[in-house]
Amino acid sequence: MGLYQNRIVIKVGTSTLTNEMGKSDLRSFDRLACVLSDIQNMGYEVILVSSGAIAVGTNKLKMKEHPSSMRMKQAAAAVGQCSIMHLYDKFFGDYDKTIAQILLNAEDIEQEEKKENLTNTFNALLEMGIIPVVNENDSVSYTEIESAERLFGDNDMLSAVVAVLCGAKQLIILSDINGLYDADPRLYPNAKLISRLEQIDETVYCLAGSAGSRRGTGGMRTKLQAASLATAQGIDTIITNGKRPQSIYDIVKGVNAGTLFVGK
């Protein structure tokens, strides 16, 4: 399949969009909107895959703890999704950009007709210079939240699925860490950043531990699975730090920042 050389998918995790107290990190939202708007002004087509609905909803509902039941998680996601779209609309609006919301479930990708509709919608939005903001439709689906048989797994996987569906040239996964290290730096402070990988095999999976913050899910393992799916379709995948979205300027020009998984 041919890839669109100017089309980029960026995924941002909960840990980048919320602070230690679980509240929305407004500076992160603003910085991200600024860089992505600027990148679009430079001629790139931008698709944003954003997590954060459950965490932001949990905060808005003033729940004392992260909800443990499925129904409360889904309710929190329904509330939080509104809030994050409101914030994106506000910040992207400041940079004169229009955004659109696309909420997906696994079956939307599995059925050929739905898949085609979805691709047409993405293409129409991008042609009009609109920035689609994608999340899993958590309120009607549980694949993301806790199913054992998961296609998306979490939003890392969803971002790879979207990158493949849209024929993006690059998938950029923004995390709360600079990239993949040779061990989890939270446990091993001397761990070294790996700047480039041609192959994702079992030895690489062995380096990946679980999520770093209470707010993130999946940790590096799900990012490796996403990179594996995307690179198999020729899509370069980069993990980099969401607190410094300015590195996206380098990444789109092919300059390394974080960890690059080379597309095959």
Ligand X SMILES: Nc1ncnc2c1ncn2[C@@H]1O[C@H](COP(=O)(O)OP(=O)(O)O)[C@@H](O)[C@H]1O
Ligand Y SMILES: N[C@@H](CCC(=O)OP(=O)(O)O)C(=O)O
Task: Please state, in angstroms and rounded to a whole number, the distance separating the CA atoms of residues 252 and 250.
Answer: 6
Taking CB under 6 A as the rule, does residue 213 contact ligand Y?
no
At residue 96, φ and ψ (nearest 5 deg) are: 65, 35
**How many residues appear in the chain?**
264
Q: Would you state the structure tokens that stand for residue 14, as one six-digit string?
A: 């909960």
Residue with tokens 């370069």: 236
Task: Please state, in angstroms and rounded to a whole number, the distance separating the CA atoms of residues 256 and 61.
Answer: 40
Task: Identify whether the C-beta of residue 99 lies closer than 8 Å to the C-beta of residue 130.
Answer: yes
Task: Please state, in angstroms and rounded to a whole number, the distance separating the CA atoms of residues 242 and 92.
Answer: 17
Taking CB under 6 A as the rule, does residue 153 contact ligand X?
no
Query: Whose Cβ is closer to ligand Y: residue 1's or residue 21's?
Result: 21
Angle (deg, nearest 10), helices 70-94 and 26-41: 50
Residue 61 CB, nearest distance to ligand X (Å)? 20
Taking CB under 6 A as the rule, does residue 48 contact ligand X?
no
Query: Whose Cβ is closer to ligand Y: residue 76's or residue 118's?
Result: 76
Task: Please state, in angstroms and as integers, the Cα–Cα distance from residue 196 to each residue in 45, 62, 204, 210, 231, following that order.
Answer: 25, 42, 12, 21, 13
The 10 Å CB-count burial string (b at 16+, else e) for 4-16 is eebbbbbbbbbbb
Question: Does 222 appear as a known binding residue?
Answer: yes
Taking CB under 6 A as the rule, does residue 13 contact ligand Y?
yes
Mapped onto helix, strand or coil, the DSSP state of residue 198 is coil
| 135 binding partner (options ligand Y, ligand X, none; Cβ < 5 to 8 Å by kind) | ligand Y
CB neighbour list of residue 113: distance below 8 Å, 6 or more residues apart: none
What residues from 238 to 257 belong to the interface with ligand X (CB under 6 A)?
none
| 212 binding partner (options ligand Y, ligand X, none; Cβ < 5 to 8 Å by kind) | ligand X
What residues from 215 to 234 belong to the interface with ligand Y (CB under 6 A)?
216-218
Taking CB under 6 A as the rule, does residue 170 contact ligand X?
no
Residue 43 CB, nearest distance to ligand Y (Å)? 28
What residues from 202 to 221 belong to the interface with ligand X (CB under 6 A)?
207-209, 211-213, 216-220
List residues bridging with 131 in a β-sheet: 99
Which of 252, 216, 245, 51 lies closest to 134, judged by CA?
A: 51
Task: Please identify, among the stretches 8-16, 105-113, 114-122, 225-233, the one whose residues bind ligand X according to the rule CB under 6 A.
Answer: 8-16
Residue 155 CB, nearest distance to ligand X (Å)? 7
Question: Does 220 appear as a known binding residue?
Answer: yes
Taking CB under 6 A as the rule, does residue 167 contact ligand Y?
no
Task: Please identify, among the stretches 33-41, 59-67, 130-138, 201-209, the one whose residues bind ligand Y according to the rule CB under 6 A.
Answer: 130-138
Residues that bind ligand Y (CB under 6 A): 13-15, 51-55, 77, 135-136, 138, 144, 154-155, 216-218
User: Residues annotated as binding site for substrate?
Assistant: 51, 138, 155
User: Residues annotated as binding site for ATP?
Assistant: 11, 175-176, 217-223
